[in-house]
């Protein structure tokens, strides 16, 4: 469908634009929050609103499709929703109170999530043609393993960071142990692996577009996090990389 291809292409183009933009500026939220970005909102509320768009839009588009009762489609639906139950509804509750984020960031994220969830759900619920044997296909099996492993890494790394938070100063300390031995941002690495797994498991252009956008969005932020650690902590491990062990 011409309009569907156009939307997926738009997401890929958006990934390129995002990557280029984030090489020159750092998204102003979290540890990189700063003045000059207009109206701000409480970070918890911002995360909840902007991330809840994804599971809600995905569900609405999926259940409106003809494959809503298909077993394989339901399995993929469950994978998507599992991630966003954590990301949209659990993760915001664990953020430190008092933090704020620009409303502009929230609005941009909402726009992206409507597009991304829409094209992925439309594929899974309508355009995808999966045989009943798809769960035994190597593409699905490898993708599902990557998805589960990436999600587990992401959740573990977030939990590790929360355990280091203090009530004084910036609230940040140097994380150690597990993947933090090798990289500064295993949470971002996990999320990138997860959505690469989704692209394989769905074997779809929409899944590929999301995987590319995830890299475009998170790789520059991981590099910025890595530089921030070195600026704030002179004793930061010199051999630790930003995102991929021994590489970058």
Task: Check residue 167 and give its pLDDT.
Answer: 43
Which range (52-66, 84-98, 177-191) has the least confidence?
Answer: 84-98
Helix axes 205-232, 2-22, angle to 10 degrees: 10
Give pTM, 2 decimals.
0.94
Residue 243 lies in a domain: no
pLDDT over 60 (residue 168): no
The verdict on residue 91 lying in a domain is yes
**pLDDT exceeds cutoff 50 at 243:** yes
Tell me if 220 is assigned to some domain. yes
The total of structural domains in the chain comes to 1
Residue 194 lies in a domain: yes
Query: How confident is the prediction for the chain on average, in pLDDT?
Result: 93
Nearest Cα to Cα of residue 146 among 72, 200, 205, 204: 200
Asked, for residue 116, whether it belongs to a domain, the answer is yes
| Residues contacting residue 102 through CB under 8 Å, at least 6 positions apart | 28, 29, 37, 38, 39, 40, 41
247 within domain boundaries: no
Whether the per-residue pLDDT at 89 is higher than 80: the answer is yes
Whether the per-residue pLDDT at 238 is higher than 60: the answer is yes
Residue 25 has pLDDT above 90, yes or no: no
Domain range enclosing 77: 2-232
Q: Percentage of residues in the chain with pLDDT exceeding 70?
A: 97
Q: What spatial distance separates the first Cα and last Cα of the chain, rounded to whole Å?
A: 39
């Amino acid at each position: 469908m011409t309009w569907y291809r156009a939307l997926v292409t738009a997401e890929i183009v958006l990934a390129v634009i995002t990557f280029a933009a984030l090489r020159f500026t750092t998204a102003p939220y979290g540890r990189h929050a700063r003045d000059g970005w207009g109206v701000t909102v409480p970070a918890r509320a911002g995360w909840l609103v902007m991330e809840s768009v994804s599971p809600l839009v995905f569900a609405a588009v999926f259940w409106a499709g003809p494959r809503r009762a298909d077993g394989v489609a339901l399995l993929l639906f469950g994978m998507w929703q599992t991630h966003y139950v954590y990301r949209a509804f659990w993760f915001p509750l664990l953020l430190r109170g008092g933090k704020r984020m620009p409303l502009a960031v929230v609005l941009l994220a909402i726009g992206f999530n409507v597009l991304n969830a829409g094209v992925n759900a439309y594929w899974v619920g309508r355009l995808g043609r999966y045989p009943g044997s798809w769960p035994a296909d190597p593409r699905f099996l490898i993708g599902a393993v990557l998805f589960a492993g990436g999600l587990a890494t992401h959740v573990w790394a977030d939990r590790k960071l929360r355990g280091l938070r203090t009530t004084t100063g910036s609230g940040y300390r140097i994380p150690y142990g597990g993947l933090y031995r090798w990289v500064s941002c295993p949470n971002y690495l996990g999320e990138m692996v997860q959505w690469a797994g989704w692209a394989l498991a769905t074997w779809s252009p929409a899944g590929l577009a999301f995987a590319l956008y995830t890299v475009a969005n998170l790789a520059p932020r991981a590099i910025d996090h890595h530089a921030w650690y070195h600026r704030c902590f002179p004793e930061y491990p010199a051999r630790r990389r930003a995102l991929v062990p021994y590489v970058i």
